[in-house]
Structure 1
Amino acid sequence: MKHFYKAILVGLMSVLFVQCGKSKYDIAKGKIGQLTTKTTVQDFDKIFENDSVVKVLSEGAKGNSYFQEDDKYLIYEKGGKHLLTIVPKEQLDSTSTIKSVEVFDDRFKTKSGLNINSTFEEINANNKIDKVETSFTSATLFIDELNATVTIDKEDLGLKEFSTQKVSLEQIPDLAKIKSFTVWFN
């Protein structure tokens, strides 16, 4: 019986250590820190109670704009450092869940170490890049295992901006820097 209680105690301690080891800066598929696929807009104030939440709200379906803008929630640390920009799935709806989160702070990182300051070499060595799409000004890398996109400026690729030239993984220099890092919650 004594061994039984010891085993339970060890098990409980292990769970506590695992829970404590999870950082508020972890990124995984469908998760950034305390944000998950189930998080709603109304949860932001509680989750970021020690930070500043700046709301940039659209006009929704009633607006005059032909192109409807997304609501954005910009999260700033006290002191002014931009941490995240969160876009909800539904505009002007406090019960909406998250569509995407753009990461601005290098403390947010994946298990493999991917963060906003990673180079292409680090991204390519530690993550499977499933697809590359090219726009006029950048190349976007799709990382399906995280449901994330990483954008690299064409200038960092040694290509002219505003060209329609396709980019392959082999063309991207190892030291190319990330322009944006977005995790999608769909």
Structure 2
Amino acid sequence: MKRILFAALIASVLFTSCNSEDKFAITATQVGPLTKDTQVNELKTLFENDSVVDQNSGLSEELNVNAIEIYEKGGTQLLSLMPVKEGNPKTIKTVQIFDARYTTEEGINLNSTYKDLTDAYEISRIETLISSIVIFVDDINAYFTIDRDELPGELRFNMDTKVTKAEIPNDAKIKYFMIGW
């Protein structure tokens, strides 16, 4: 009887640890338990141990202007989700990562640098914005924002200059990490 209980305990621990890892896994088709087919009405079940804050009500629901935010019990924000504007049932269009535990198979998370990103993935394109640059990685349907303050002098202040892959410092930190389906 003790052996059966011990085996059940070990199986339970292994199952829980596997689930824990999957909870923060990012691939081209998932962010933790979310996929592009996840319906908004499933979020409270998927994040049953967390807080789901859906500010989409009234006029904002019709326009889908407000994100759905996921907070860990205790207040730490995990994710911000933007639902698709049209279609029924509503699914998730973009996911903004707020917690560094969410990590890609190649080890990229919010604590990664530009060098980490280029070592792990092929950069698809770079868009230069007024206060930041956006780096697209099509392999995982992701885009990463780096603040212009991370760039060398003239690139930091010249808003008309298009930034290339080679001009971004290796130690530039990722400011935002988003998945878009």
What is the TM-score normalised by the length of structure 2? 0.82
| 2:167 maps to 1:181 | no
- Aligned counterpart, 1:88: 83
Task: Name the CA shift for 1:87/1:161 in 2 (closer, same or farther; >3 Å).
Answer: farther
Q: How many residues align?
A: 164
SS across alignment from 2:166:
helix
- Aligned counterpart, 1:117: 111
* Identical positions, percent: 38
Deviations 1:101-137 (A, max 9, x none): 0001011011000111100010011111010110111
- Aligned counterpart, 2:33: 34
Amino acid paired to 2:68? Y
- Aligned counterpart, 1:129: 123
Runs of 4+ in 1 over 4 A off after TM superposition: none
The runs of 5 or more residues in structure 2 that have no matched partner are 1-13
Deviations 1:49-107 (A, max 9, x none): 11111122262586xxxxx562311111011111000000027x872111000001011
Q: Do the aligned residues in 2 keep the contact of 1:136 with 1:161 (CA within 8 Å)?
A: no
Distance across 2 between alignment mates of 1:60 and 1:32: 25
What is the TM-score normalised by the length of structure 1? 0.80
- Aligned counterpart, 2:159: 163
Amino acid paired to 1:78? K
SS across alignment from 1:175:
coil
Q: Do the aligned residues in 2 keep the contact of 1:83 with 1:105 (CA within 8 Å)?
A: yes
Distance across 1 between alignment mates of 2:61 and 2:95: 22
Root-mean-square deviation (Å): 2.4
Distance across 1 between alignment mates of 2:23 and 2:61: 34
- Aligned counterpart, 2:148: 154
The structure richer in helix per residue is 2
